């Protein structure tokens, strides 16, 4: 039982014994004592004034005295207005340390212990361009959330949905066909996804020229966009692809194969993996079948131009197009098919889509359409909506070629890590191979941590230089703290010191030592909260607090030079446990920590 559970029960017992009142669980409000007051855990007294019929101070005094008698863990208390601040004795905190020393998976629930299965979809790239900075945030969030949900005891299936069909794919294909002159990744020396992305940008540039030409002839912007030959040719290419035209399908397969290879290289660089990859080209027909059945069952309706729609006006939305007049499908159609296939295959309890907040409407409609079609599990679809990521210079646009490619960003981060480490002389004496690996760990750690420390719901600006600072709330600062701890442990081993598996609970500890132990105590609750809120930011900012608190402890107390062997061994054990928690928390973010740095 946690100390919070003991106190909560004790408060309920106090209410019954002192005021003859049964108190509901939600009436007992506990919170961490604010730093400007003495104490560890605070009980909010205001909910008990009606039953005590006394002042907040008197009620707090009576409950405090009751708890001190009933709970040996409570050393003392103070009352500030309507708040009862309880001080937990050092024996409790030291006993807690002894409990977690042998626990290699401290903070994590037992694997698959909840019986709850969750599918998490993330990445979802288009095969007409390489992964960019926006995809980086998506991948890092999806991968970290998956790890956090696993740490909470859920069975997690990590999936990717590749958008490998549609008009946008045909734009790249058409541009390559017109202006590619047979270029391949081998003949150009370019990564396949980058090569295909160049032709997506080329299409947009030429399309704009055609639009301007028609506007100059007197057409409106909308008319010019529809009349431009390039868009008509791209639309015709999509119709041919859906009709399985051999030449069109062969070109599509060839160019997509270039992109898949490029994506795999980028995922490997980022350290991101999936359990299953779905392709829209393999699910959109299933979606069309679902739509046609809904039409046959009079759940959906057809307009005079043969397009098929869902009427969601009664649900507070508008009408939603599901099949175009020419019979081709839209994004919603293929998402219907993909969702049904996944639930048929895995029968998951929950399906989480990690997708930017510009798609909020899309996922509300997806769930509503599926429910309208009779799929009871559709209410379990959840959109993990996140904000956009920008650079200090502003927004990015793929079709205009103004994005920051994920590959270029990773390379830049590693190069910046090397420059800063070399300037600080941190890796003197390392072999070239050792140094390169640490540059990679620092660079990627800086990138991942900086992005994940921000609340997913918020828009953010990614500043590469700020992210890689060795001071402040950054990945490298936390990594350096971990290596500092490992250095202490190695030196202890060289001195022949064996770190104990249990510590003396009667020793006197300082306030900084106690604060560090209290932070470590919070880790399981942080993991639970991060899982329920789908927020890696909770983990990131927690582990920064741990690293910051440890560094203050390190500067305030002697460790290896401490003459009292019992105190020295306690501080070594505390350091070792802190290192394990830092490593564990950073792993939930997908961030490696080096043993030396």
Residues of the chain with pLDDT under 50: 395-401
pLDDT in tens, 176-206: 999 999 999 999 999 999 999 999 999 999 9
Which residues in 222-317 belong to E strands, given as ranges? 276-279, 301-302, 308-311
Q: How far apart are the first and last CA of the chain?
A: 39
The pTM assigned to this predicted structure is: 0.92
Quick one: pLDDT at residue 427? 72
Domains defined for the chain, CATH in brackets: 3-88 (3.30.1360.70), 122-400 (3.40.50.620), 412-588 (1.10.730.10)
CA nearest 311: which of 299, 329, 326, 323? 299
Distances (CA, A) of 285 to 192, 238, 281: 27, 14, 8
The pLDDT score that the predictor gives to residue 402 is 52
**Can you tell me the distance from the alpha carbon of 390 to that of 356, in angstroms, rounded to the nearest whole number?**
13
Residue 400 confidence (pLDDT): 45
Query: Residues 394, 364: contact at Cβ < 8 Å?
Result: no
pLDDT at 366: 97
Q: How far apart are CA 190 and CA 195, in angstroms?
A: 6
Q: Which of 333, 329, 324 is nearest to 303 (CA)?
A: 324
The pLDDT value recorded for residue 463 is 85
CB–CB of 48/10 below 8 Å?
A: no
Q: Quick one: pLDDT at residue 432?
A: 86
- Strand order across the 319-323 sheet: 301-302, 308-311, 319-323
Distance CA 131, CA 376 (A): 35
Return the structure tokens found at 314.
């009664």
Token pair for residue 320? Answer: 């939603």
């Amino acid at each position: 039982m946690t100390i919070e559970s003991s106190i909560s029960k004790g408060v309920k017992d106090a209410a019954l014994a002192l005021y003859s009142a049964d108190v509901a669980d939600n009436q007992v409000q506990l919170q961490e004592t604010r730093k400007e007051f003495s104490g560890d855990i605070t009980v909010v007294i205001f909910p008990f004034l009606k039953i005590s019929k006394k002042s907040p101070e008197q009620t707090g005094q009576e409950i405090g005295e009751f708890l001190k008698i009933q709970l040996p863990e409570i050393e003392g208390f103070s009352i500030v207005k309507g708040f009862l601040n309880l001080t937990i004795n050092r024996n409790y905190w030291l006993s807690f340390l002894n409990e977690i020393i042998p626990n290699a998976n401290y903070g994590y629930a037992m694997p698959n212990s909840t019986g709850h299965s969750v599918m998490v979809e993330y990445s979802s790239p288009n095969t007409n361009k390489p992964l960019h900075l926006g995809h980086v945030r998506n991948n890092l969030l999806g991968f970290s959330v998956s790890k956090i949900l696993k740490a909470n005891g859920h069975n997690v299936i990590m999936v990717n949905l590749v958008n490998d069909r549609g008009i946008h794919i045909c734009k790249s294909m058409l541009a390559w066909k017109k202006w590619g002159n047979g270029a391949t990744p081998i003949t150009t020396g370019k990564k396949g996804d980058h090569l295909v992305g160049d032709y997506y940008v080329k299409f947009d540039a030429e399309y704009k020229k055609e639009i301007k030409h028609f506007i100059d002839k007197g057409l409106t912007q909308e008319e010019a966009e529809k009349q431009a030959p390039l868009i008509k040719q791209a639309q015709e290419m999509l119709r041919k692809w859906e009709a399985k035209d051999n030449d069109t399908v062969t070109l599509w397969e060839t160019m997509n194969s270039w992109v898949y290879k490029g994506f795999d290289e980028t995922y490997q660089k980022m350290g991101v993996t999936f359990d299953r990859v779905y392709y829209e080209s393999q699910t959109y027909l299933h979606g069309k079948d679902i739509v046609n059945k809904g039409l046959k069952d009079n759940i959906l309706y057809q307009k005079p131009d043969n397009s098929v729609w869902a009427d969601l006006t009664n649900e507070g939305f508008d009408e939603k197009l599901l099949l175009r007049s020419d019979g081709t499908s839209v994004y919603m159609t293929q998402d219907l098919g993909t969702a049904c296939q996944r639930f048929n295959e895995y029968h998951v309890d929950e399906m989480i889509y990690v997708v930017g907040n510009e798609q909020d409407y899309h996922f509300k409609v997806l769930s509503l359409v599926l429910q309208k079609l009779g799929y009871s599990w559709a209410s379990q679809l959840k959109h993990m909506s996140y904000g956009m990521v920008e650079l200090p210079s502003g927004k990015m646009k793929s079709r205009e070629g103004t994005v920051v490619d994920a590959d270029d960003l990773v390379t830049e981060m590693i190069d910046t890590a090397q420059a800063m480490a070399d300037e600080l002389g941190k890796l003197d004496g390392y072999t070239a191979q050792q140094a390169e690996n640490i540059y990679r760990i620092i660079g990627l750690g800086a990138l991942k941590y900086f992005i994940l420390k921000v609340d997913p719901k918020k828009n953010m600006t990614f500043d590469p230089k700020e992210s890689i600072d060795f001071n402040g709330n950054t990945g490298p600062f936390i990594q350096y703290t971990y290596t500092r701890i490992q250095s202490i442990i190695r030196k202890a081993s060289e001195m022949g010191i064996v770190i104990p598996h249990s510590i003396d609970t009667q020793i006197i500890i300082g306030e900084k030592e106690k604060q560090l132990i209290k932070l470590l105590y919070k880790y399981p609750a942080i993991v639970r909260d991060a899982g329920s809120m789908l927020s890696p930011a909770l983990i990131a900012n927690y582990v920064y607090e741990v690293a910051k608190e440890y560094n203050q402890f390190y500067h305030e107390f002697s460790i290896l030079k401490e003459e009292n062997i019992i105190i020295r061994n306690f501080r070594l054990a505390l350091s070792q446990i802190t290192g394990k928690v830092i490593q564990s928390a950073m792993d939930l973010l997908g961030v490696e920590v080096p043993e030396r740095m």
